[in-house]
């Protein structure tokens, strides 16, 4: 194939930007949607970008937001470029048709435990090839994005996402997009953000559809817990627990302190010290139910009708939590302990911590997973607590309204590493973006193997394109009587109520 590269200039409301075009797909990278969040703007809501004269190059990805290094055990699985610079509240656009207006828009919100990640880790060119204007964004993470000190300022990362969506409303028509046909889509913490945005008054009118991949509406913390975390951070830094004091701490020191708190949480997960929401999720930084940006728990708001006018697709991967337990050998440690005791203490403790009856739960999961070792059972239970049950509850809550709800499960199991990862967390991303090609360095790339099934990518990518275009995924809508879900695999098929046993087991608990 001959690769033809050209440049093109587009005028936004803030100024002109120069992008590039390769074989008919235009890309614009590193466009600022908000002012750099440093100096006088640090730890404050996003501020408008100052207009500029002349033409700014948008040829390369822009700076990434401040963040610690991702866990070393996931380095090969999660490409996460670290690009220095202060102008980090930026976005990237791929479009195949700049001469017309009216193409559907998909805005991708990256994952990363609310502590890592960047829009620069994704390539939206295949969406653009298929008529979708694809946008990926950065937003503040960690303390920079979710510090709450009880001072009326919280959820800056979510406010960044809203600022990016507002930029899209104002400017995307210049790139061939329809501001009235915007779908937000995210995975993991990005999906949790998507579900939270569904329930946020400030996000109303900024999108008409939403896709939540492996993340839903459960993962928030109370203002009291967030304040406790903020105070622990100030103590770790040796400064007063005020926004002004922490904003003067050098970025590198703040990131180091976050890493120190993460290590302390892992070593001593005491709910009385950290707060139960933090310990159960092992996440220090999460969206905060502050009574303002997030008025009340998102799932409660969705059940009460928030987001009722938005079509949604929500789903999970069959073996989500194996991505967390296989690297580093935690799942093997569980196996070794199984040889010592039939019911390992740690597994029973985990079940009890989730509020489930231990004996009944272990009996049920052994029946659901015949021959599973202790580590496999732990992975299945944590998959349900962390990912699958919240997705089911989100689908249930939204299905009560009048707009479409669609559910899927990604079940293709990686053949690599003796198949031990299964259909784990993040494995579906390369299929959704149709970037199985090695040139894209896709998420979970080492798990794709030498010959990943392109036909599965064709089917999933087409479903995401169809949903972003007209709100119809191509399989039956989800309702509380049938609970239809598309199970994506080498042979994909609709399955009715595919996780009924788990759903009922967790009833009243999760």
Annotated catalytic residues are 188, 320, 425
- Nearest-angstrom CA–CA distance, 134 and 125: 8
483 by Cβ neighbours in 10 Å (0-12 / 13-18 / 19+) ranks as buried
In sequence order, what are the residues at sequence separation of 6 or more whose Cβ sits closer than 8 angstroms to the Cβ of residue 121? 78, 79, 80, 81, 110, 443
Alpha helix locations (H) across 215-270? 223-237, 243-247, 251-267
Q: Which two tokens stand for residue 126?
A: 């295949």
Task: List, as one string, the DSSP characters of 259-300.
Answer: HHHHHHHHH---HHHH-HHHHHHT-S---EE-SSSS-S-HHH
In angstroms, the CA 125 to CA 128 distance is 5
Please report the DSSP string for 91-110 in residue order. Answer: EEEEES-SSSS-EEEEEEE-
Burial 46-61 (b: 16+ CB within 10 A, else e): beebeeeeeebebeeb
Give the whole-angstrom CA distance, residue 107 versus residue 206.
11
Regarding beta strands 90-95 and 25-32, do their DSSP bridges make them parallel or antiparallel, or are they unpaired?
A: antiparallel
Count CA within 13 A, CB hemisphere, residue 507: 7
**Beta strand 16-22 with 5-11: parallel, antiparallel or unpaired?**
antiparallel
Longest dimension (CA), the chain: 70
Residues 422 and 434: their CA atoms lie apart, in Å, by 20
Which helix H or strand E contains 163, and what residues bound it? Answer: helix 156-171
Which has the closest alpha carbon to 24: 52, 3, 45, 41?
3
For residue 118, give the nearest of 155, 91, 147 by alpha carbon: 91
CA–CA dist 62, 17 (Å, integer):
13
The angle subtended at Cα 279 by Cα 277 and Cα 285, nearest 5°, is 65
Q: Categorise residue 497: left if φ over 0, alpha if ψ from -120 to 50, beta otherwise.
A: left
């Amino acid at each position: 194939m001959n690769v033809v590269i050209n440049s093109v200039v587009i005028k936004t409301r803030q100024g002109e930007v120069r992008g590039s075009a390769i074989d008919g797909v235009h890309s614009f990278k590193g466009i600022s949607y908000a002012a750099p969040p440093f100096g006088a703007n640090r730890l404050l809501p996003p501020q408008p970008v100052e207009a500029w004269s002349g033409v700014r190059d948008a040829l390369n990805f822009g700076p990434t937001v401040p963040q610690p290094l991702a866990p070393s055990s996931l380095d090969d699985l999660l490409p996460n470029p670290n690009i220095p610079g202060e102008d980090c509240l930026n976005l990237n656009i791929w479009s195949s048709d700049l001469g017309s207006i009216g193409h559907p828009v998909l805005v991708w919100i990256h994952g990363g435990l609310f502590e890592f990640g960047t829009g620069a880790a994704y390539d939206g060119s295949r969406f653009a090839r298929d008529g979708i204007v694809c946008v990926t964004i950065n937003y503040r993470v960690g303390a920079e994005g979710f510090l709450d000190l009880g001072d009326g300022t919280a959820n800056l990362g979510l406010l960044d996402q809203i600022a990016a969506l507002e930029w899209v409303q104002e400017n995307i028509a210049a790139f061939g997009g329809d501001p009235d046909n915007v779908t937000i889509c995210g995975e993991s913490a990005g999906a949790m953000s998507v579900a939270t945005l569904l329930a946020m008054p400030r996000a109303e009118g900024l999108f008409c559809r939403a896709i939540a991949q492996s993340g839903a509406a459960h993962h928030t913390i109370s203002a009291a817990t967030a304040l406790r975390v903020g105070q622990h951070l100030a103590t770790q830094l040796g400064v007063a627990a005020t926004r002004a004091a922490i904003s003067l701490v050098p970025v590198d020191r703040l990131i180091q302190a976050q890493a120190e708190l993460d290590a302390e949480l892992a070593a001593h997960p005491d709910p009385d010290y950290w707060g139960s929401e933090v310990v159960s999720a092992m996440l220090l930084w999460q969206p905060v139910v502050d009574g303002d940006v997030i008025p009340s728990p998102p799932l409660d708001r969705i059940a009460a009708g928030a987001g009722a006018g938005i079509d949604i697709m929500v789903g999970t991967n069959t073996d989500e939590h194996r991505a967390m337990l296989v690297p580093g050998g935690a799942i093997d440690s569980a196996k070794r302990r199984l040889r010592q005791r039939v019911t390992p203490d740690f597994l029973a403790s985990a079940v009890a911590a989730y509020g489930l009856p231990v004996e009944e739960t272990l009996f049920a999961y052994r029946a659901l997973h015949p021959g599973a070792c202790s580590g496999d059972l732990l992975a299945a239970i944590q998959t349900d607590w962390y990912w699958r049950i919240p997705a089911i509850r989100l689908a249930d809550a939204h299905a009560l309204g009048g707009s479409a709800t669609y559910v899927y499960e990604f079940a293709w199991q990686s053949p690599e590493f003796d198949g031990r990862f299964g259909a784990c967390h993040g494995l579906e991303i390369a299929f959704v973006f149709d970037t199985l090609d090695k040139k894209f360095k896709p998420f979970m790339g080492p798990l794709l193997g030498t010959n990943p099934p392109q036909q599965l990518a064709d089917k999933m990518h087409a479903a995401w394109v169809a949903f972003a275009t007209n709100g119809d995924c191509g399989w039956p809508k989800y309702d509380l009587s049938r609970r239809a879900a598309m199970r994506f695999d080498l042979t994909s098929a609709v399955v009715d109520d595919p996780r009924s046993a788990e759903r009922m087991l967790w009833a009243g608990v999760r």
